[in-house]
Amino acid sequence: MRDVIQKMLQAEAEAKRIVGKAEAKADQIRADARKKAQELIEAARRDAQDEADRVVQTAVQEAEQQKRSRLQQAAEAIRAELQVAPAFRKEAVETVERAVRGTADGTTNG
């Protein structure tokens, strides 16, 4: 009977050792999984930030290109408006001269 009790105590001790070892292994697996999950989250955040930076950079470049294009179009429109036909230019100069001399209606005030 003593032998049976001794074997039961040994079996129980072995079972506790096995359970302790399994729990330690499970704790290590959980810690590794948490670490790996954190690494994946950080990698995903970096990737998302990099992609956001690329999108913003592309948008800024496109906006700058549109700005340059619109400024060029505006400059061309202004140039076109400033090009006056020679006959109209002569008339405009004469009108300004009369206005400066005080003879806007073509007659002198005197």
107 located within any domain: no
40 located within any domain: yes
Question: Above 90 in pLDDT, residue 107?
Answer: no
Question: Above 50 in pLDDT, residue 45?
Answer: yes
pLDDT digits (tens, 9 = 90+) for 6-16: 989 999 999 99
52 located within any domain: yes
pLDDT digits (tens, 9 = 90+) for 62-84: 999 999 888 888 888 877 776 76
How far is it, in rounded angstroms, from Cα 109 to Cα 99?
12
3-state secondary structure 48-96: HHHHHHHHHHHHHHHHHHHHHHHHHHHHHHHHHHHCCCHHHHHHHHHHH
106 located within any domain: no
C-alpha gyration radius of the chain: 45
49 located within any domain: yes
Higher pLDDT, residue 103 or 16: 16
21 located within any domain: yes
109 located within any domain: no
Average pLDDT, the chain: 87
Number of domains in the chain: 1
Mean pLDDT, residues 92-105 taken together: 78
Q: Which of 67, 39, 89 is nearest to 31 (CA)?
A: 39
Structural domain for 96, as ranges: 2-101
